[in-house]
Structure 1
Amino acid sequence: MRFSKSFRNWSVVVGTLIILALLLLKSVFETSTCFPVSEYYGYDKAIPLHDSVRMATDTTDFKLFEVSYTSVHDQSVTALLSIPKNQPEPIPIVILMHGLGDRKTVDYVEYGNRLLLKNGFAVLRLDISDHGDRKKEFYDFDLTGPDKYWTRNIVSQTVFDLRRAVDFIETRPELDSKRIGYYGISLGGIIGTVFCGVEQRVKVPVIALAGGQLNLLYKQDALSGEAKNFLSIIEPLNFVTDISPRPLLMLNAKNDEIVPPTMSKLLYKKAGEPKEIIWYDAKHRDAPLDIIYGDGLSWFKKYL
């Protein structure tokens, strides 16, 4: 009888510990959605774009235009528009976005631009807010440090800029605004998940080397409501479900030291169908360009 009573007591203790552990895990992996975060990215489409399009290069295979337009918060956005020649119009288009600290003309984006052009897609490349031609004074990009509001604004502003990019695409008769794809790399992938979640006009998203659950970056403070609330408007997990039923492809590195694979797995798990994830035996910066772009290209050819 003593043994049975002791066993029951231990069962209660163990059961309590299990419940506490589950609640702890729920707290860690639950994102903050205390208000409808997608509404944050609403804007007045009636505001003029004041767009400018200037021919930069005219070759036998493609035309390259320098583009600028006005975004939300009176921001001036710089972009490059590449249009292949000898293609039936309107031409499907892919928005191609770079990663942190880079620009629209960085080598790996140039590679993707050439590949997409060669396969009959127009390409629009933007500078992320405070990058490239838009760079002013660059602070420490850190969501947990003293420049965290500046850091968050880079992400949220670029989502607005991308939505206005779609408005710009709709003004171009040579571009097929019903067949818009998105290919975002690293920070461009994180931003793109939010963007594609709120922007239904993008039909086929490809997200490379990105993930979700940004509050994990806070380490010991990851559980705090303050961290999750602060990140809510840029947390990919709060937006990825809204991509479905559009087909989502995620491309990730097994040994990624910048975006931990756990964050990529969490994002993929939260996404709705149809979806696919491909893993490369690589680190963040040495993923094979020909393969990672080739897989994205195959996705666009299948669905866009």
Structure 2
Amino acid sequence: MQPMSDFNPYTYRDSGDFKVEPVNSSGAFKKFEVSFSSACPTDYPQLDTVTGEYCLPNTDDKPPLVLLVHGVGDTSTVPCRLLAGALTKSGIASLTLTMPIHSRRLPAEMKRDFYSLSAQDWYNLYRISVVNIRQALDWAESRSELDSRHMGVAGISFGGYVSAIALGLDQRLRAGALLFTGGNLEKLARTRSSRKYARYAVSDELYRKNQSRYMAYVAEVAARGFENVSPPQLGYLFDPYTFTPELKTKPVLMMNALWDEYFPKEAVNDFWQASGKPRQVWLPAGHATAWVFYPVIRRQVVDMFRKTLLR
């Protein structure tokens, strides 16, 4: 059970109704489906059930666990499953969660107008996502076959947003891989080249004023702690940049694309610097085409977690 806080929307009271069902097994690993009730109840039944694919290496040792968190679009689960197989071969267990933005969970009315969701809608999706990640850590701590002292998270795009927040909030996460993502949502919205989302159109003067106010808030969070600072606006609560003071304290791998339509290099570099300049790998690609370099991504991610989680 997590304590409640006025300024921390990611606290929760866990239901603890975890279920694990075997799916199949091979010579290298066993596969299970994990399910549990979301600790953020809503008016939409499909949002309130969380499922995940759990891959466990066949080993006599207790393996560490990496949570794999997909981005927008169901196809984003494909690289998660590929990475799950690669991690398992290295002796690391994985749990690929089905997030609220997956078609299985996203309410129909949100699907219809996905690129025009309100700030409140996004706040709810971020909150549910981060709380579901933290619930998965609760589940892992209950599993005797896992070494729950050594857990990490890898997130792709939107999954990277919520993984960064969880990594900054939860000390049970020892390391993270943030793939094709960034922070400072206002700057990303102003500088991205994608036309799927409406361009963030404000005057230069107002933009600079907003950025100054946000950076003052982040500095106060660094000095006093996230739970002790009242946010001037709702978006600050779900901006990964808010959590960079804590990201500095943990091993992080960032992988980004030079011509990413959603995460421009300038904004990504600001996030990288604020996060303590962790290891960063740039790929000559766009947001989706970066997966052409999957062998490079796989090697970097697996090596990172082998060095930080395997003992």
TM superposition score category, shorter chain reference: 0.7 to 0.9
Partner of 2:45: none
The answer to whether the 8 A contact 2:81-2:96 is kept is no
SS at match of 1:95: strand
The amino acid across from 1:234 in the alignment is: F
Instruction: For 1:289 and 1:158, locate their aligned partners in 2 and report how far apart those are by CA, in whole Å.
Output: 25
- Note the residue ranges of structure 2 that are not aligned, 5 or more in a row: 42-47, 191-199, 215-232
Provide Cα deviations, 1:249-289, integer angstroms capped at 9, x if missing partner: 1111111112212221111111136x211111111111111
Provide Cα deviations, 1:55-113, integer angstroms capped at 9, x if missing partner: 0112222111111012222332111111011x233211110111112267x32222111
Partner of 1:220: 201
- Structure-to-structure mapping, 1:191-270, within 5 angstroms: 191-216=162-187, 217=189, 219-221=200-202, 223=207, 229-270=233-274
Q: CA, structure 1 residues 225+265, in 2 after alignment: closer, same or farther (shift >3 Å)? A: closer
**Corresponding residue to 1:90 among 52, 59, 62:** 62
> Is the counterpart of residue 290 in structure 1 residue 295 in structure 2?
yes
Report how far residue 231 of structure 1 moved. Answer: 1.1
- Structure-to-structure mapping, 1:1-304, within 5 angstroms: 39-44=8-13, 47-74=14-41, 75-85=48-58, 87-102=59-74, 106-137=77-108, 138-142=111-115, 145-216=116-187, 217=189, 219-221=200-202, 223=207, 229-272=233-276, 275-287=278-290, 288-304=293-309
- Note the residue ranges of structure 1 that are not aligned, 5 or more in a row: 1-35
Partner of 2:227: none
User: TM (normalized to structure 1)?
Assistant: 0.80
Instruction: For 2:21 and 2:74, locate their aligned partners in 1 and report how far apart those are by CA, in whole Å.
Output: 23
Farther-moved stretch of structure 1 (208-217 vs 221-230): 221-230
Percent identity of the aligned residues? 27
Report how far residue 130 of structure 1 moved. Answer: 3.9
The amino acid across from 1:260 in the alignment is: P
The answer to whether the 8 A contact 2:180-2:256 is kept is yes
Provide Cα deviations, 1:30-70, integer angstroms capped at 9, x if missing partner: xxxxxx997221223xx331111100112222111111012
Instruction: For 2:7 and 2:163, locate their aligned partners in 1 and report how far apart those are by CA, in whole Å.
Output: 14
SS at match of 1:296: helix
Report how far residue 294 of structure 1 moved. Answer: 1.1
Whichever of the two has the greater Rg, that structure is 1
Q: CA, structure 1 residues 231+139, in 2 after alignment: closer, same or farther (shift >3 Å)? A: farther
The amino acid across from 1:210 in the alignment is: T
The answer to whether the 8 A contact 1:97-1:125 is kept is yes
The amino acid across from 1:90 in the alignment is: K
Report how far residue 236 of structure 1 moved. Answer: 0.8
SS at match of 1:68: strand
SS at match of 1:303: helix
User: TM (normalized to structure 2)?
Assistant: 0.78
Provide Cα deviations, 1:120-179, integer angstroms capped at 9, x if missing partner: 11110001114143233124334xx45332233212210010010100000101111111
Structure 1 outlier segments of 4+, above 6 Å:
none
The answer to whether the 8 A contact 1:37-1:238 is kept is no
Q: CA, structure 1 residues 256+183, in 2 after alignment: closer, same or farther (shift >3 Å)? A: same
